[in-house]
């Protein structure tokens, strides 16, 4: 019988220690060490992860100038939104971690993607659901793949043997927190188990060139469960966001070694699975029968994609002593800054008003280029005067009340023109080629001038 011993692991970074310490020497966090029972044995188990048809080449140091430059080979993905988020397809040997709240649709998304690879042999490993449950979900989806295999197992030793026998082209693991290695004598989901099982799967992916998708749980704070080291080990980290009370889901990149980290993919949850939304501007703008105050349309950029979003604001007299400042999908600190500018530079008495701001569609936007739209919505609600639904706004507001230029202005204008907007307000400091657009462009330099043009 192998010797059983205990060790302490940091929940934040995964560092280990023979005894408990108050402050982690690796990441500097306090009170993050937990004790786990571990058991290590001598084994040749990891050799089973390799495919017989692959062999590791002997590497040696080479000069940087002698390295041949070439593009990464990628597996084409039928899901356009996922392909955009990953940077154009799946890189062989990459490990992709997908996190999200329970019930948000992670398993549905990955099963849907697995069924779309009709020309690839896909192994879907589930440690949470039975074969029957997965079959019931697959029957609701409009995709079929005769080469999609199911394996409901949590032991990495058995999974390793199945991988060697089947030799799949793509592997999906649902979820990494349910896997358990017999070499570690601790419960599934513990720090040591996640490090060991994830490390085995990453070695398998790199040695065989097989892409691996890992589904991960998240904590109450919205971060991926397990050690922070897990996010450093994988190649790509995707966050599947959304509200279960809304039909739209957003797939956002937080880390990508093979592409941009500013791309998003938008899906609509339906009874038959997740539908890709090719034109999100149309769904992010509400259809209204009549003009309403407190609503303005802003043009923003998410990755390479221009979007038109609806900004909603409600301004009312504060009933209590301290006015409320609440925002959904927009930075609250930036909202407080805009309210201070409106009171200082424009003479609006915002200090006695409750202000609520919402980005329609459940989208969260960090682009400062929507400041002008937020201001327009706030002032519209303050005066109870509606803004023309065919006007869009682009511009960042500075502390002195100036309207600053924003990047990629031509793409924003083109998106507004494509959706039928007749006028657009933007900073006069943006350099716009003349005669390229039929939309009426109103250039402003100060916040006071902007409000005079818009509300008179």
Cα gap 174→179, rounded to integer Å: 9
What pairing do the DSSP bridges indicate for beta strands 403-404 and 295-302?
unpaired
**SS3 for 332?**
helix
Q: What's the predicted TM-score (pTM) here?
A: 0.75
Nearest Cα to 162, choosing from 126, 189, 193, 128? 126
The reply to whether omega before 344 is within 30° of 0 (cis) is no
Buried b (16+ CB within 10 A) or exposed e, 195-225: bbbbbbbbebbbbbebbbbbbbbbeeeeebb
Residue-wise pLDDT tens for the chain (456 aa)? 455 567 788 877 777 788 888 888 878 888 888 877 665 544 444 444 544 444 444 568 889 888 877 666 888 889 999 998 998 889 999 999 999 888 888 999 999 999 999 889 999 999 989 999 999 999 999 999 999 999 999 999 999 999 999 999 999 999 898 999 888 877 888 888 888 899 999 999 999 999 999 999 887 766 777 777 788 889 999 999 877 667 788 898 889 998 888 788 889 888 888 998 887 777 777 766 678 899 999 999 887 788 899 999 999 998 877 899 999 989 999 999 999 999 999 989 898 899 999 998 778 888 999 999 999 999 999 999 999 989 999 999 999 999 999 988 988 998 888 888 999 999 999 887 766 678 899 999 999 999 998 987
| Consecutive H or E run containing 254 | strand 248-256
Partners of residue 302 on adjacent β-strands: 305
| Consecutive H or E run containing 163 | helix 156-166
Cα gap 49→214, rounded to integer Å: 17
CA angle, 142 then 282 then 80, to 5° = 40
Cα gap 450→456, rounded to integer Å: 9
**SS3 for 361?**
helix
3-state helix, strand, coil in the chain (%, to 5): 30, 30, 45
């Amino acid at each position: 019988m192998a010797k059983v011993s205990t060790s302490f692991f940091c929940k934040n970074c995964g560092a280990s220690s023979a005894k408990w310490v108050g402050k982690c020497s690796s990441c500097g966090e306090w009170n993050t060490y937990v004790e786990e029972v571990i058991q290590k044995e001598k084994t040749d188990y990891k050799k089973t992860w390799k495919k017989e048809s692959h062999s590791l080449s002997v590497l040696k140091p080479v000069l940087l100038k002698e390295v041949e430059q070439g593009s990464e080979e990628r597996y084409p993905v039928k899901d356009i939104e996922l392909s955009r988020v990953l940077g154009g397809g799946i890189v062989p040997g990459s490990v992709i971690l997908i996190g999200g709240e329970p019930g948000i649709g992670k398993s549905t998304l990955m099963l849907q993607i697995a069924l779309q690879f009709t020309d690839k042999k896909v192994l879907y490993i589930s440690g949470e659901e039975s074969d029957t449950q997965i079959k019931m979900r697959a029957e609701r989806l409009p995709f079929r793949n005769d080469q999609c295999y199911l394996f409901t197992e949590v032991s990495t030793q058995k999974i390793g043997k199945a991988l060697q026998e089947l030799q799949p082209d793509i592997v999906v693991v649902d979820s990494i927190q349910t896997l358990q290695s017999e070499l570690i004598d601790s419960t599934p989901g513990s720090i040591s188990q996640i490090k060991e099982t994830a490390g085995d799967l990453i070695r398998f992916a790199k040695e065989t060139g097989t892409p691996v998708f890992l589904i991960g749980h998240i904590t109450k704070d919205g971060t991926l469960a397990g050690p922070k080291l897990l996010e450093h080990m994988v190649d790509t980290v995707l966050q599947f966001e959304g509200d279960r009370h809304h039909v739209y889901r957003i797939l956002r990149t937080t880390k990508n070694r093979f592409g941009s980290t500013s791309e998003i993919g938008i899906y609509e949850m339906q009874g038959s699975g997740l539908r890709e939304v090719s034109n999100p501007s149309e769904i992010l703008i509400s259809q209204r029968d009549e003009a309403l105050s407190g609503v303005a349309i802003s043009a923003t950029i998410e990755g390479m994609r221009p979007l038109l979003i609806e900004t909603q604001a409600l301004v009312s007299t504060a009933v209590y002593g301290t006015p409320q400042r609440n925002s959904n999908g927009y930075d609250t600190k930036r909202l407080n800054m805009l309210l201070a500018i409106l009171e200082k530079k424009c003479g609006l008495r915002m200090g006695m008003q409750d202000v609520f701001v919402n980005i329609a569609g459940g989208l969260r936007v960090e682009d400062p280029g929507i400041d002008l739209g937020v201001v327009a919505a706030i002032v519209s609600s303050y005066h109870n005067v509606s803004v023309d639904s065919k006007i869009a706004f682009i511009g960042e507001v500075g502390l002195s009340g100036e309207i600053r230029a924003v990047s990629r202005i031509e793409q924003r204008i083109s998106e507004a023109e494509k959706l039928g907007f007749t006028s657009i307000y933007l900073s006069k400091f943006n350099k716009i080629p003349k005669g390229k657009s039929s939309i009426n462009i109103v250039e402003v330099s100060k916040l006071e001038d902007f409000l005079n043009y818009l509300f008179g």
